[in-house]
Amino acid sequence: MPPKKPQNEKFGHKIKELREAKKKTDPAFSLRGFAKAVGVSPTFLSQVENNESTPPSAENIIKMAELLGCDADELLALAGRFDPALQQIITQKPRAMADLLRTAHEVGATEEQLQRVMEQLRRKENKD
């Protein structure tokens, strides 16, 4: 058999691992059942899980995360894709959002620091 091309290997492995854990107690998570629920063909899902195809669209990855009960952002990151909603958010306030992200990146903000900023923003919103 010819060697397979690596394509976002971690994404395929993660989906397979999560689906295989679920299928032990629920046949809806069989390859065919899960593919149908996501809206892709079993051949495509099989190729993705076995690292033989590029990951599905962001919309399908979000659907997979919902069905598997895991974090959509984590799966999107593994697949090298972005939530299309994020693009829309940035487009609405392009300069401010881009500045915010660049600044956070430049100062090397940690996840805890970003969490604190978000909490402050939420508190302000509740007061308003």
Partner 1 sequence: MKVDYLSPGKIEGAALTLLAEYQRKFPSATLLPVPVDDIVDCHLELDFGFANLIGELGVPDVLGALWMNERKVQIDQSLDPTNFPAQEGRYHFTVAHECGHWILHRRYFLDKAAQPSLFGGEAEPSIVCRSSQKKKPVEWQADTFASYLLMPKEQVFAVWQEKHGSLEPYYAAEEIAGLTARWSVADGSIPTVRVAKEMAQIFKVSGQAMQIRLNSLGLIQTSNEQSILV
Interface positions with partner 1 (CB under 8 A): 1-3, 20, 23-24, 26-27, 29-33, 35-36, 41-43, 46-47, 49-50, 52
Residue 81's SS3 state is coil
d(CA 9, CA 13): 6
Choice between 39 and 94, CB closer to partner 1: 39
Choice between 3 and 108, CB closer to partner 1: 3
The CB-of-72 to partner 1 minimum distance in angstroms stands at 24
Element of type H or E holding 28: none
The CB-of-75 to partner 1 minimum distance in angstroms stands at 20
Crossing angle between the packed helical segments 42-49 and 9-23, to the nearest 10 degrees: 120
The CB-of-50 to partner 1 minimum distance in angstroms stands at 6
Choice between 8 and 47, CB closer to partner 1: 47
| Half-sphere exposure (Cβ direction) of 3: Cα atoms closer than 13 Å | 3
The CB-of-112 to partner 1 minimum distance in angstroms stands at 40
CB atoms near residue 92 (< 10 Å): 9
